[in-house]
Amino acid sequence: MALQSLDIAKRSATTTEPPQARKTIEVAKLIDVSKCIGCKACQVACMQWNDLRDEVGTCAGTYDNPRDMTDQSWTVMRYAEVETEERGLEWLIRKDGCMHCEDPGCLKACPSPGAIIKYANGIVDFHQENCIGCGYCVSGCPFNVPRISQKDSKAYKCTLCSDRVAVGLEPACVKVCPTGSISFGSKSDMKDLAAERVAELQERGFKNAGLYDPAGVGGTHVMYVLNHADKPALYSGLPADPTIAPTVTLWKSVAKPLAMAGMAAAALGGLFHYVMKGPNEVSKEVEAEVERELEGEK
């Protein structure tokens, strides 16, 4: 959605400075996994606020419903039953969705100007009216978040309720969470809140409790408090050290300027070769030889 009331920090496929005169604070959503009871109120609120209705799916024997994010489900609860040494069987429930990276891989990969925007407050938003449906954002994302609609071929994902945040409201999922597992505020406040909670958890025996704010993508504007922060993969495959894939960086940061220079060099090289060395014409000598040969035939 186009929200011109928020200033822009980064804009896809744009090489000039975006508008950034106004300063806003960086925001963040903090999801405290240790407080989550898996009620899915956040999923419902997301559907309601964003006018989304996913198709009724099938049960795969777990509580995961829908089983994956789709263009209609921008957040899903993922339920993992894991056995840890310290505590035996644990049910680790993670609300999955866009992490709103400080350095968004989707935005880096996107070829369409203005289809992906990172606002000054840190929210990464897809503007479907500029989306061309190539799916490069899917390749760029280290968290497997963007979903391409089967109907309109546009990419969709969590907007962090940029429309609500723009008018001073918290995201819909934050508003409805009954256990206070999801908090929203400035990123520094959320880090402070997380630090308090992590200390509490550590006191209560979760010695590896910690904050998930991965540095590989410059930090994220959706952060988790994990009771096993040393093993993020326990939480339905949360990547331990997510970064934009080297192939994507090579493609977008190295190949792009190099290839442009190479192709320009080939074209200019041709022009200047012609101008400086002249055309390669058939020599008068050879022409005369051929004439004589033809004469001889007669």
Partner 1 sequence: MIRDPHDLQRYTASERANHWITGICFILLALSGLSLFHPALFPLTMLFGGGTWTRILHPFIGVVMMLFFVVMFFRFQGLNRMREADWEWVKRAREMVNGDDHNMPEMGKYNGGQKLLFWFLGVAMLVLFVSGIVIWRAYFSASFPIGVVRLGALLHAAFAALMIAAIIVHVYAAIWVRGTIRAMLYGTVTRAWAKQHHRAWYKQMTGK
Binding footprint of partner 1 on the chain (CB under 8 A): 13-15, 109, 111-113, 130, 132-136, 138-139, 144, 148, 153, 245, 247-248, 250-251, 255-256, 258-260, 262-263, 265-267, 270, 273-274, 277-283, 286-287, 289-290, 293-294
Burial 258-278 (b: 16+ CB within 10 A, else e): eeeeeeeeeeeeeeeeeeeee
Tokens of 154: 């546009």
CB of 250 to partner 1, least distance (A): 6
Cβ proximity to partner 1, 70 vs 227, nearer residue: 70
Cβ proximity to partner 1, 179 vs 247, nearer residue: 247
CB of 152 to partner 1, least distance (A): 10
CB of 265 to partner 1, least distance (A): 8
CB of 134 to partner 1, least distance (A): 5
Cβ proximity to partner 1, 85 vs 297, nearer residue: 297
Question: What backbone phi and psi angles, to 5 degrees, belong to 68?
Answer: -150, 165
Cβ proximity to partner 1, 17 vs 293, nearer residue: 293
The residues, ordered by sequence, that sit 6+ positions from 106 with a Cβ below 8 Å of its Cβ are 116, 124, 126, 137, 138, 140, 141, 145, 146, 155
CB of 89 to partner 1, least distance (A): 31
CA distances from 128 to 90, 181, 186 (A): 39, 30, 27
Cβ proximity to partner 1, 112 vs 186, nearer residue: 112
d(CA 145, CA 141): 7
Residue 156 host element (H or E): strand 155-156
d(CA 230, CA 246): 24
d(CA 155, CA 92): 29
Q: Which of 1, 5, 6, 4 is nearest to 121 (CA)?
A: 6
* Sign of the four-CA dihedral 59, 60, 62, 65: negative
Residue 222 host element (H or E): strand 222-226
- Is residue 22 classed exposed, middle or buried when 0-12, 13-18 and 19+ CB atoms within 10 A define those classes? exposed
CB of 255 to partner 1, least distance (A): 5
CB of 260 to partner 1, least distance (A): 6
Cβ proximity to partner 1, 91 vs 274, nearer residue: 274
CB of 257 to partner 1, least distance (A): 9
Cβ proximity to partner 1, 169 vs 245, nearer residue: 245
Cβ proximity to partner 1, 50 vs 112, nearer residue: 112
